């Protein structure tokens, strides 16, 4: 998505060889029109695939998940994070290692919001090592639902998470695939 690449170049800050900050339009301040355009683009890529539900994880995936759900006219569910697992029979849950927090967190979704008839599109802001996605895919599996695919705003391809999941046969659409952040510069694929 050219307009996103342009925005990343103009407004993104490369914090290190592995971390990109986009807090002016996605991760702190949100540009509603722009996030709407990104949601429409992800929705277009999965139009006709019979998506019945969007799944993301709090907090920063929610904005683009919401606009994707708005464009596809389906509900948006966000997995909630908590520090310690208290086994809740009413919830699907799993443990992921958070890239930004560098700690393990449990994520859970109440069973009433995803069931075996659902066709789920997983949406998130970033794809790095793929932990967040792995957790959400696991929740879709626990629900016995069908995973239609994944929609990502920014994929840092060089961190390998996307490749590992694609090798499992999962379809991933990324609006801005980044090949490298080396030298303080964003290089797109
Ligand atoms: P993964 O689980 O794929 O390693 O990391 C994905 C999650 O970590 C995303 O949900 C996102 O919130 C966060 N994340 C990963 N890399 C970055 C980054 O470069 N910048 C920001 N702002 N968040 C990131």
ipTM of the complex: 0.97
Whole-number pLDDT of residue 130: 97
Instruction: Please check if 155 is assigned to a binding site.
Output: no
Write the DSSP string, 135-184: HHHHHHHHHT-EEEEEEEEEEEGGG-HHHHHHHTT--EEEEEEEEE-GGG
How far away, in angstroms, is 84 Cα from ligand 1 center?
21
Structure tokens belonging to residue 172: 């991933």
Element (H, E) at 2: helix 2-11
Write the DSSP string, 37-94: HHHHHHHHHTTTS---EEEEETTTTHHHHHHHHHHHT--EEEEEEESS----TTEEEE
Whether domain 2-153+165-174 has CATH 3.40.50.2020: the reply is: yes
33 to 28, 40, 63, 158, 182: CA distances (angstroms): 15, 11, 11, 29, 30
How far away, in angstroms, is 127 Cα from ligand 1 center?
6
How far away, in angstroms, is 141 Cα from ligand 1 center?
22
Instruction: Please check if 111 is assigned to a binding site.
Output: no
DSSP conformational letter for 111:
G
Closest Cα to residue 100, out of 126, 137, 62, 74? 126
Whole-number pLDDT of residue 88: 72
Strands 172-180 and 187-188: what pairing? antiparallel
Peptide bond into 36 cis (omega under 30): no
171 to 45, 151, 166: CA distances (angstroms): 11, 9, 6
- Kindly report whether the global pTM for this prediction surpasses the value 0.90: yes
Rg from Cα positions in the chain: 16
Tens-of-pLDDT digits for all 189 residues of the chain? 999 999 999 999 999 999 999 999 999 999 999 999 999 999 999 999 999 999 999 999 999 999 999 999 999 999 999 855 566 779 999 999 988 888 999 999 999 999 999 999 999 999 999 999 999 999 999 999 999 999 999 999 999 999 999 999 999 999 999 999 999 999 999
Instruction: Please check if 20 is assigned to a binding site.
Output: yes
- Any idea which residue has 């443990």 for tokens? 95
Whole-number pLDDT of residue 171: 98
Residue nearest atom 5 of ligand 1, based on CA coordinates: 128
Whole-number pLDDT of residue 89: 78
């Amino acid at each position: 998505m050219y307009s996103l690449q342009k925005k990343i170049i103009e407004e993104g800050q490369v914090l290190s060889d592995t971390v990109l900050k986009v807090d002016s339009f996605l991760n702190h301040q949100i540009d509603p029109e722009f996030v709407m355009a990104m949601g429409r683009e992800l929705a277009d890529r999965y139009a006709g695939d019979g998506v019945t539900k969007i799944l993301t994880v709090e907090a920063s995936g929610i904005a683009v998940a919401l606009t994707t759900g708005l464009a596809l006219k389906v509900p948006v569910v966000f997995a909630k994070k908590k520090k310690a697992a208290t086994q809740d029979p009413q919830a699907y849950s799993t443990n992921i290692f958070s890239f930004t927090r560098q700690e393990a967190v449990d994520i859970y979704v109440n069973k009433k919001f995803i069931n075996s008839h659902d066709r789920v599109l997983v949406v998130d802001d970033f794809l790095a090592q793929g932990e967040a996605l792995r957790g959400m895919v696991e929740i879709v599996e626990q629900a016995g639902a069908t995973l239609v695919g994944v929609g990502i705003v920014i994929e840092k391809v060089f961190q390998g998470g996307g490749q590992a999941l694609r090798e499992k046969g999962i379809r991933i659409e990324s609006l801005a695939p980044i090949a490298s952040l080396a030298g303080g510069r964003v290089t797109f694929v």
